[in-house]
Structure 1
């Protein structure tokens, strides 16, 4: 029999004085979710009102800059469902953002929300905390065959979004000319940046220093971990 892994509850005084950082943490996470949806700041309250069915005056308190308030439990649940985010993350009880676990919702609620079936489960996000990839804090999905066979099309990968410049040669997630790319990046002194595909069917690209390579290229992060999945 495995030992009981449950931790002992906090003492009364510890529980009483536990600082969960709910305020302004929840406000900041809400605003981050709205910003990710390109909702202008002046429309935040009206958008949240439409999303939750609550009055504009009510939702405005949740994102007030000076004295943010907390939503009631029902409103928090609706926010999690509507924003597709785990309520634990909204509360600050998870380090990494996860999608709402629709596959674990009670069946009556799931049937009401999605008569045709729930969206796909966010298994990549759920895997992140389990592998301890704290430095590779964001997940992506490879789109295209340019990095095959190292990173095949549809393969999940984790990247460190704190690395926003090419400080050393490696594999990076990039934004260039309106496209998101995963490439080997090599800095060549006096020449520029060489963007190389793993798949030899694709040609290399050299962004010359004279062309302002750094100005044209946005580094979104350095790829640190690739998840290879095979059927059994």
Structure 2
């Protein structure tokens, strides 16, 4: 039985053979969007889960380095809305990154997106989180060394009773006359690694922490309050 094509550019055979490069193209563009927002690699899965409402296991497949999967249609629409980019660009059907057209949305969806959440007591929940740390010391982060985990200007609590490194974690310390925050990793047989969360800064290796007189542990960081400045 012979069918007649109506307003379609490809034949059935051509449609079967065309390669849209959806994988890993979509994954690469999702990673690029998160890089624009300073989302570190180890936070990719949690970030995608937060902005789409999907489970961690589901979104992890979208950015799997070996076999990336495709978001479902609802998730793709949400990614387009949340990132503010045209879905055609996310899919690779557009060579240029174009902004999401809010003005073209149907009225029902526009009303949902513009719906304001009910007013909440934001100070109450914040104080509830900080109450258990009220007796600890507080300092302020200076610089982008630990971004995006600790942003520049963000206050953080630290336990000043901890003056030695017994386990991996983020510590407030003084090194060579300067106070700083570093992620300290214990490496068996090698010493310790003082690492920044920001990949633009190099890590520092120390073979023997106890034999380094110019390094003093001021405490272990226990809570960070990050504020996003727009």
TM-score normalized by structure 1? 0.46
Q: If you compute each CA radius of gyration, which structure gives the higher value, 1 or 2? A: 2
